[in-house]
Amino acid sequence: MNRAPLKRSKILHMALMGASDPSGEAEASEEKPFLLRALQIALVVSLYWVTSISMVFLNKYLLDSPSLQLNTPIFVTFYQCLVTTLLCKGLSTLAACCPGAVDFPTLRLDLRVARSILPLSVVFIGMITFNNLCLKYVGVAFYNVGRSLTTVFNVLLSYLLLKQTTSFYALLTCSIIIGGFWLGVDQEEAEGTLSWTGTLFGVLASLCVSLNAIYTKKVLPAVDGSIWRLTFYNNVNACVLFLPLLLLLGELQALCHFAQLGSAHFWGMMTLGGLFGFAIGYVTGLQIKFTSPLTHNVSGTAKACAQTVLAVLYYEETKSFLWWTSNMMVLGGSSAYTWVRGWEMKKVQEDPSSKEDEKSSMGV
Give pLDDT, residue 31.
61
User: What pLDDT was estimated at residue 166?
Assistant: 87
pLDDT tens for residues 242-282? Answer: 999 999 999 999 999 998 998 999 999 999 999 999 998 88
Instruction: Break the chain into its structural domains and give their ranges.
Output: 43-350
Which range (23-32, 41-50, 63-72, 117-126) has the least confidence?
23-32
Question: What is the reported pLDDT for 20?
Answer: 43
Band the pLDDT of 352: cuts 50, 70, 90.
Answer: low
Over residues 214-251, the pLDDT tens digits come to 888 888 899 988 889 999 999 999 999 999 999 999 99
**Percent of the chain having pLDDT more than 70?**
87
| pLDDT of 318 strictly over 50 | yes
Cβ neighbours, 10 Å, residue 69: 10
Angle at alpha carbon of residue 340, lines to 338 and 341, rounded to 5°: 65
Query: Which of 138, 274, 160, 115 has its CA nearest to residue 205?
Result: 138
Rounded Cα distance, 197 and 187, in Å: 16
Classify the C-alpha dihedral 29-33-38-41 as positive or negative: negative
Given a contact cutoff of 8 angstroms between Cβ atoms, the answer to whether 152 and 174 are in contact is yes
More confident residue, 179 or 294: 179
Model confidence, pTM: 0.83
What percentage of the chain carries pLDDT values higher than 90?
59
CA gap 250, 273 in Å, rounded: 22
Work out the pLDDT band at 100, boundaries 50, 70, 90: confident
